Amino acid sequence: MIKINLVCVGKIKEKYFAEGIAEYAKRLKRFCDFNVFEVAEENAAGLSALTTIEREGKNIIPKLRGAVFAFAIEGKKYSSEKFAEQIKKLVDSGTGEITFVIGGSYGLSDEIKRKADGLVSVSDMTFPHTLFRLICVEQIYRAFCIIGGTPYHK
């Protein structure tokens, strides 16, 4: 069974987001070994945006395993079907682990983007990071439903 990791900066504070993420994580267990890793948000007063994302990047690096895809505004946009195709290609090629990365409020460091096998953009819009985490987990679940031919994706 493939292992899917989601590495995120910061913690979920809102109960309703946490419950939604937990529901999709539970559903994903039938398709993959799904894990969420949270790294510290660097929100010390007086830090520049660049220093913040570099510090957060240093916390992310040890969590990068397998094929790595970072969510970034400049990344490639996929339909849900194409996103599922990308995951299926990796699974079919024998990739045993995929890690998706969501940065903090300032984004991701250039180092993380260079280490990633691909950059993915969901939208040109800006979302709160907690909402985006829910969207991301739902899209991973949707991708596995598409791959498995379940009726979830219409």
Pairing of strands 3-9, 33-39: parallel
Per-residue model confidence (pLDDT) at position 132: 95
Instruction: Please report the pLDDT score of residue 46 as a whole number.
Output: 81
| Type of residue at 38 | E
Other beta carbons less than 10 A from residue 148's beta carbon: 13
In the chain, domain spans: 3-148
Task: Please name the residues in contact with 1: beta carbons below 8 A apart, sequence gap of 6 or more.
Answer: 31, 32, 33
Mean pLDDT of 92-103: 96
User: Does the pLDDT value for residue 153 go beyond 80?
Assistant: no
Reply yes or no on whether the pLDDT at 35 is more than 90: yes
The string of pLDDT tens digits covering residues 4-32 is 999 999 999 999 999 999 999 999 999 99
Q: Which residues pair with 9 in a beta bridge?
A: 39
39-96 pLDDT, tens per residue? 999 877 788 999 999 999 999 999 999 999 999 999 999 999 999 999 999 999 999 9
Class of domain 3-148: alpha beta
What is residue 45's predicted lDDT score, i.e. its pLDDT? 73
